[in-house]
Structure 1
Amino acid sequence: MTYTPAVSVRQRFGDELALYDIRATDAKSVVAAATELVATGLEGEGLVDLASKVVTPLTSPFEMDALVAVAREELGMKQLSFEEATVRATQAQIRRWLHGDLTDRQLAGWAHRAIGHEGPAVLQELVVTDDMFDEIEFIGATPESIHEDLKQIGVQLLAIVDPWER
């Protein structure tokens, strides 16, 4: 197991929390991220309870939401508006893409499904890249040009201040 400094582990917890808040990840991911926080020495009864939760198909979403709420409060990570959570979740996905965990198409497809054309305006350039992949031969784009577009979009979106770090 690789140990990571607490700051990056907290960012990973924030990534999972934002994805959980918009229902784009499962409870197991939030529990794993909480476990990493506890392993770095962060304490708090609610955080430890979340990190210790065994998630099964029978685990109540209401129970998980309650555990997450207590851990969130202990960590000073307020409940975000839907738009803020969506932007923060998108930043998480962009970081995964930059680390090579997602392909260009996977990132764009996730954005199209999770955000959609009715989502926050600031995310629409990313959402539209999925359409670009579908119409690549008609719009004069190439996978490489779309990749360059994604890099520029990623830089812009990662420049948005993390609402939990303000």
Structure 2
Amino acid sequence: MTTQREAISELHDAVVLWAIGYGSADDVVRAACDALAAGVDSSSLAELAGVPLRQADTAVHGPLPAALNELGLPSYSQGSRESEVAALRVLATRAVAGDLSPRELADWTHRTFGHDRLPLAGPLAALDDQYDMLGYGPVSPSTEATAALDAEVLAEARRLLHVPPP
């Protein structure tokens, strides 16, 4: 059973990922429903949870700010630097928890931010390049080399979680 705190955290994550285009408005509505089911009591949250999924892309904008405010969650503008940093932290958290592979984190970071767009993401983008280099040459990459690179990505993910937001 999901606790209220976990449900609110999952709503936050859904909103952050939606704000950068990685998640969907449907995910936000479903997370709002889950929060209500976990016992979170908020009239704005109930309004957000009541958004029809087929209209979520447009209708979620109305009740979302009030719901986030009532729950004490930050509101991110879509595509903002703050939403990008928050999304990077959400996925870093998932990688540290084992819900996302280190390779997937590095790849997503590199594809999303490149090397220069978000300086905080630069080290992960560089580690993605190292994964790519493991695949070149006549010999398949060793399990030890891949494991060492995975460990570096996870260490960087942990560092990101402890760096104050810009």
Band of TM-score, shorter chain: 0.7 to 0.9
Within 5 Å, which residues of 2 pair with 1:25-104? 25-56=23-54, 59=55, 61-80=57-76, 82-104=80-102
Further displaced range: 149-158 or 7-16: 7-16
Matched to 1:122, the amino acid is L
Further displaced range: 72-81 or 29-38: 72-81
How many residues get paired?
158
Q: Distance in 2 between matches of 1:88 and 1:106?
A: 17
Q: Distance in 2 between matches of 1:30 and 1:79?
A: 13
Q: Distance in 1 between matches of 2:22 and 2:149?
A: 24
Further displaced range: 29-38 or 73-82: 73-82
Q: What is the deviation of 1:136?
A: 2.1
Q: Distance in 1 between matches of 2:164 and 2:13?
A: 13
- Pick from 131, 148, 162 the counterpart of residue 133 of structure 1: 131
- Pick from 148, 157, 160 the counterpart of residue 157 of structure 1: 160
Deviating 4+ runs (over 4 angstroms): none
Q: Tell me, which stretches of 5 or more residues in structure 1 are unaligned? A: none
Q: What is the deviation of 1:19?
A: 0.8
User: CA-atom RMSD, angstroms?
Assistant: 2.5
Q: What is the deviation of 1:162?
A: 7.3
- Pick from 112, 117, 120 the counterpart of residue 118 of structure 2: 120
Kept after mapping to 1: 8 A contact 2:106/2:128: yes
Kept after mapping to 2: 8 A contact 1:24/1:114: no
Do the aligned partners of residues 162 and 8 (structure 1) sit closer, same or farther apart at CA in structure 2, a change above 3 Å counting? farther
DSSP-derived class of the 1:118 partner: coil
Q: Tell me, which stretches of 5 or more residues in structure 2 are unaligned? A: none
Q: Distance in 2 between matches of 1:26 and 1:92?
A: 15
Q: Distance in 2 between matches of 1:162 and 1:45?
A: 30
Q: What is the deviation of 1:60?
A: 5.7
Kept after mapping to 1: 8 A contact 2:44/2:66: yes
